[in-house]
Amino acid sequence: MKVLANDGISKAGENTLKEAGIEILDNRVAQDHVINFINDNNVDVLLVRSATKVRQDLIDACPGLKIIGRGGIGMDNIDVEYAKSKGIKVINTPTASSKSVAELVFGHFISLARFLHESNRLMPLEGETHFNAMKKSFSNAYELSGKTLGVIGFGSIGQEVIKIGIALGMKVTVLTRSPKTEVLTLNFFNGQSVNFEITSTNDTDAFLKDADFISINTPKTNEYIIDTPQFEKMKDGVYIVNTARGGVINEVTLIDFIESGKVAGAALDVFENEPNPELPLLMNPALSLSPHVGGSTVDAQEKIGIELAEQIIKLQKETIR
C-alpha cells in the first residue's frame, strides 16, 4: 500500500506506517498535479489537511484510490459523500487537535483582555518614548475569572474550551441547535479528576445577552452564525474568538461593531477570504490575529499522524481479510 501525505504527516505517524510495511510518500504536490502524481505512482491513500482539495474531478480521475484521510476535524475540502459512493473510505481525526485549538482560544482571550496583542505591536515602536502613556492605556484590562464564557458548539473542541474556562473559574454557557447534556471530566496532575455536567441551551437571545467572552467552535456553515442581529443582542464590551471556519462570522459587520464599542475586541484564526485576509482586518488594532494555526502544535500533529496511521493500518487489515 502506498500513502501520499500531500500536506505532510508527523514523524510519529510516518514511523507507525513504515513499521506496518506501508510505503509513505511525503512529496508536496501542487493541486494541479495531484491527479497525475497519484496515478503515476499508484497511490492507494491520499492524506491531506486543509491545503489540498479532494473534489469530484480528482476522485473520478483516480480510480486506484482506496482511502482519503483528513488530518483534522472539518472535511469541507473533501467531497466526502461522493468519495464514499465510489467505494473510497474517508477518515479524519476529530479529537486529535482539540486541546491545541482550545488553548489557542484562550491565548487570544487573554491577549485581548490584557491588550497583549496591541502592546506587542506598540512596545518596539513606542516603548521608549510613550511607556507611561501605554501603561495607563493598557491598565483598563479584565480578568477572565468570574466572567461568563459562551461557547457556540458542543463538539470535542467546544468541550475542551469549556474545560479550560471552568479551570479559570469562569461561568459557562453553551449554545447548540437543540439542548443536550454532556459530562466533562477535568483531570489534574496528581491523579484527581472532577466531573461537570453541562447542559446546552438553544435560547440564542439569552446566550448572547449573558456572555462576556464568546468562542465559536462549529463546523463550516452556509450562512453567518454571527451577524448584525446577533451582535445587537450581545452584552456591551464582549470579546469574541473564532477558531472554527471563515464565514461563520460576518467580518465586515464585526469591524462595525468593534468601532461602535459593542465589541471590545475579537480574535480570528480563520478568515472568509483565506489565505488572503482583508486588509481592514489585518490593520485593526482591536483584533488579535493568527494564520489558521489552531491545530498546528507539535503535540497535535503527532496525535493526528498516529491516529491516521492506525486507521489506515486497521483498514488495510480489514481489506486483507
Helix axes of 156-167 and 98-113: crossing angle, nearest 10 degrees: 50
d(CA 106, CA 166): 12
Q: What is the set of active-site residues?
A: 245, 274, 292
Closest CA to 219 of 247, 189, 239: 247
Burial of 295 by CB count in 10 Å (0-12 exposed, 13-18 middle, 19+ buried)? buried
DSSP 8-state symbol, 244 = S
Residue 69 sits at φ, ψ, to 5 deg, of -120, 140
Triad 159, 164, 167: Cα angle to 5° = 125
* Burial (0-12, 13-18, 19+ Cβ within 10 Å), 239: buried
Which one-letter DSSP state was computed for residue 78? Answer: B
Cell of 85: 459512493
